[in-house]
Amino acid sequence: GIQVEQSPPDLILQEGANSTLRCNFSDSVNNLQWFHQNPWGQLINLFYIPSGTKQNGRLSATTVATERYSLLYISSSQTTDSGVYFCAVINTNAGKSTFGDGTTLTVKP
Amino acid sequence: DAMVIQNPRYQVTQFGKPVTLSCSQTLNHNVMYWYQQKSSQAPKLLFHYYDKDFNNEADTPDNFQSRRPNTSFCFLDIRSPGLGDAAMYLCATSREGRGDTQYFGPGTRLTVL
């Protein structure tokens, strides 16, 4: 099946810093989503981005489908950004959605 | 407005005692999914419904079953929970097909005593 690798696995930032999270995938995909899982376990949809670039406030994401990676940018990080960020991909031929192992972000005040 | 609702948020059951988790949606989406997420791991897809068509992942244990009586509701039945089934169970929906954006509920955290 498709492999999804996220890096780094853990990231500690000082409030106000910027960061880039990466998601690599091993096959072509029809869907790619970035999620933030808060401390209560809720998965919040950040971006649906099978290709191209999108921005939402301090967050932006870029997917280069031909090179099989996606990047999530967080600018001016806040303590509320802490949590686990997951990348999830779907290849409809394989018929299965696959999550990466996540990046655990800790933003310190 | 709540879109994907899961009840209960916390469920405690005894080893071997059947338990049912509930998911409902107000989005009128065709597809509903159940994921299992164990501590410090990524969510793992158990199965999904496209309308009434049930799709089981190959590695989902037989102990797990699902029902979708109508568009709005989907249930996860664990017939004989073991200690290894303690996890967060996440329900998600998408409008059409597996390539569509997925929206997640808040999850039900299952404890097995």
At B13-54, the pLDDT tens digits run 999 999 999 999 999 999 999 999 999 899 999 999 989 989
Task: Mark yes or no for CB contact A45/B97 under 8 Å.
Answer: no
Q: A42-71: buried (b, 16+ CB within 10 Å) or exposed (e) per residue?
A: bbeebbbbbeeeeeeeebbbbbebeebbbb
Task: Mark yes or no for CB contact A92/B103 under 8 Å.
Answer: no
Residue A92 pLDDT class (50, 70, 90 cuts): low
B88-111 mean pLDDT? 89
Q: In A, what residues contact B, Cβ < 8 A? A: 30-31, 33, 35, 40-45, 48, 50, 86, 88, 90, 92, 95-97, 99-102
A24-49 mean pLDDT? 91
Strands across the sheet containing B73-78: B4-7, B19-25, B73-78, B64-67
B70-85 mean pLDDT? 96
Contact, B112 vs B11, CB < 8 A? no
Q: Does residue B107 surpass a pLDDT of 80? A: yes
Contact, B113 vs B13, CB < 8 A? yes
Contact, B32 vs B20, CB < 8 A? no
Task: Mark yes or no for CB contact A31/B45 under 8 Å.
Answer: no
* Mean pLDDT for all residues in chain A: 93
Q: In B, what residues contact A, Cβ < 8 A? A: 33, 37, 41-45, 55, 57, 88, 90, 92, 97-104, 106-107, 109
Measured between CA atoms, the residue of chain B closest to residue A86 is B42
The amino acid present at A18, given as its one-letter code, is N
Q: Does residue B96 surpass a pLDDT of 90? A: no
Task: Mark yes or no for CB contact A97/B45 under 8 Å.
Answer: yes
A46-64 mean pLDDT? 96
All residues of chain A having their beta carbon less than 8 Å from the beta carbon of residue B100 are: 31
* Test mutation, B102, B103, B108, B109, chain A, max A CBs within 10 A: B102
CB pairs < 8 Å spanning A and B? 56
CA distance B43 to A101: 9
Hey, what are B56's tokens?
């089981």
All residues of chain A having their beta carbon less than 8 Å from the beta carbon of residue B39 are: none
Q: What pairing do the DSSP bridges indicate for beta strands B108-112 and B87-94?
A: antiparallel
Predicted pLDDT at B98: 61
